[in-house]
Amino acid sequence: MNFSSHSSFGPRHSFLILISSFVIPPLAEATTPAEVSAATIKAVSFYLSKAASHGGYVYRYSADFTLREAEGIPGPDTIWIQPPGTPAVGMAMLDTYEATKDEKCLAAAIAAARCVSRTQLASGGWDYSGHFDVKGRESNNYCRKADGTAIPRTQTATREAGWHNWRRQDKKNYATYDDDVSQAATRLLVRVDHALGGKDAEIKDAADFALRTIMMTQYPAGGWSANFDDAPSFPPPVEKYPIKPANYPQDWPRKWPKDFSGCYVLNDNTHATLMSTLLLAWQLRGDAQYLAAAKRGGDFLLLAQMPDPQPAWAQQYNADMQPVWSRQFEPTAISGRESQAAMWALLKLAAATGDKKYLAPVAKAITYLRTVLLPGNKLARFYELNTNKPLYFERGPGGKGFELTYSDKNASSNYGWVWDSELDALQAAGSQIARGEPVTFPRTEKERWSSPPTDADIATILKEQAPNGSWPITDNDRGIMRDANGKKTKPAGGVLYSLDFVQNVKAMSAWLKSKGGVK
């Protein structure tokens, strides 16, 4: 397969849309952009006034706000950085401001950005959560005091940059790129800084420092590690991390070696979200250094694509550019999910730069991955090197540890072993880029609403919204939380999810923009 300006699709890639009398009704005529705008602003005002702690948020709340939950039970002065925590909520609020021009929504986004700024570590990044209580702040090396006062920044790096040093973590300065943590925080800061024209010194300084850190933690080949614990004054040395193409190890252990040698990490879309963050900074700031770093990230993906017979990507690589183990259920393997994220990243880079060298690796990977699809148009998370056999893990004896297996019959429930194929969408986007056509990129991870949202989507959102502006959930497992003792309970008024808030508010904001805003 290759992408060309004359790409065409046979019946396999065509869709026939039949229009019948059974159609989804459009948004009721009585619902206007002004009404959707009012509902969106109400949602933001409610969440800011009831859910915010120091301007930040966690994952879910009981409707009466007596319970808060994230990964565990956070204290009242703990906020969450990992999406859909504070940065995700703040960016949804900023979306609302951009769609409605309501100053209260901008103020809410600014409060979230300052919360993020005040939990930025001296390493330049963020941990999964942030703390505003005395004990929590003493156990972390933050850049600022809780009131925003800057702590004089000294050069914390006393050693050269690189995974050979970062893997031995300084817990007070631990920052992570895993699960889009530091990236999401950076994107919020960059977007709010842009909205304010660079006039808020605290937010601008935090954004500048975060972007500099992303570039300084980038390896010579263009990749990144999952975490780091100092703010390097120069990138990792090429002598220890040579620029070379991916290659297959002669053999690999079938049992977890308990050794994290993967200095280059694609796991959980880490690399792709770093590239997206740099592209955003370039688009909003116009500074070529961010584009150059994003392109180095793209060049790394070209190097990291495995050679035949499996021209896709692994979750993590060692300094010799060989796939390696990470956690005890993340083996040396080709990864279906991370390969799709890598391809989306390359396509977005190609669309942004006009450089079509990033298209050929995507076409080659699609051709290969079509040959290993599972029933139901699915991709395995892991394929064994050279054999293409899907890999799974079962719990070990007594429910402890994990054991590698070729069968999904007793696969453990802690991990996503199978993922939806996005190959058709990837191929369509690649062909559009090759023809020089504009591309609207679909979301690569499932969300509730389509992009762009339909009138029917908006009707559903408004119907489900409570009078106070929230979206309480009472049904099934989503209507259950844990109390302070960790015991499951079903709050009488339901559970409020930051994820639902983010998705609904972003959908309404996108719909408003598609209608030309509020007249």
Structure tokens that stand for 131 in this block: 């703390």
d(CA 404, CA 396): 9
Structure tokens that stand for 497 in this block: 């999810």
DSSP bridge pairs for 382: 335
Distance, first Cα to last Cα, the chain: 47
- Note the pLDDT tens digit of each residue in 322-356: 999 999 999 999 999 999 999 999 999 999 999 99
DSSP state of 473: B
State mean pLDDT over 94-99.
Answer: 98
- Note the pLDDT tens digit of each residue in 256-266: 999 899 999 99
pLDDT at 235 over 70: yes
Residues in the chain: 519
Helices (H) and strands (E) in the chain, counts: 14, 17
SS3 290: helix
Residue recorded with tokens 């263009």 = 222
DSSP collapsed to 3 states, 367-427: HHHHCCCECCCEEECEECCCCCCECEEEECHHHCCEEEECCCCCCCCCCCCEEECCHHHHH
d(CA 419, CA 393): 16
- What number of CA atoms fall less than 13 Å from residue 262's CA on the CB side? 23
Report residue 169's pLDDT band, with 50, 70 and 90 as the boundaries.
confident
Do 210 and 124 touch, CB atoms closer than 8 A? Answer: yes
Do 365 and 371 touch, CB atoms closer than 8 A? Answer: no
d(CA 338, CA 226): 14
Report residue 18's pLDDT band, with 50, 70 and 90 as the boundaries.
very low
Q: Which pLDDT does position 6 carry in this prediction?
A: 44
* Phi, psi angle pair for 299, to nearest 5°: -65, -35
Residue recorded with tokens 């991390």 = 241
pLDDT at 12 over 80: no
Q: How many CB atoms lie within 10 A of CB 163?
A: 24
Do 241 and 317 touch, CB atoms closer than 8 A? Answer: no
DSSP collapsed to 3 states, 245-269: CCCCCCCCCCCCCCCCCCCEECHHH
pTM value is 0.93
- Amino acid making up residue 140: N
- Note the pLDDT tens digit of each residue in 43-77: 999 999 999 999 999 999 999 999 999 999 999 99
Nearest to 432 by CA among 340, 347, 341, 345: 347
Do 276 and 348 touch, CB atoms closer than 8 A? Answer: yes
DSSP collapsed to 3 states, 413-434: CCCCCEEECCHHHHHHHHHHHH
- Note the pLDDT tens digit of each residue in 412-468: 999 999 999 999 999 999 999 999 999 888 765 556 777 778 999 999 999 999 999
Q: How many CB atoms lie within 10 A of CB 24?
A: 9
Give the alpha-carbon dihedral of 41, 43, 46, 48, to 10 degrees.
Answer: -80
What average pLDDT does the structure give for the chain?
Answer: 92
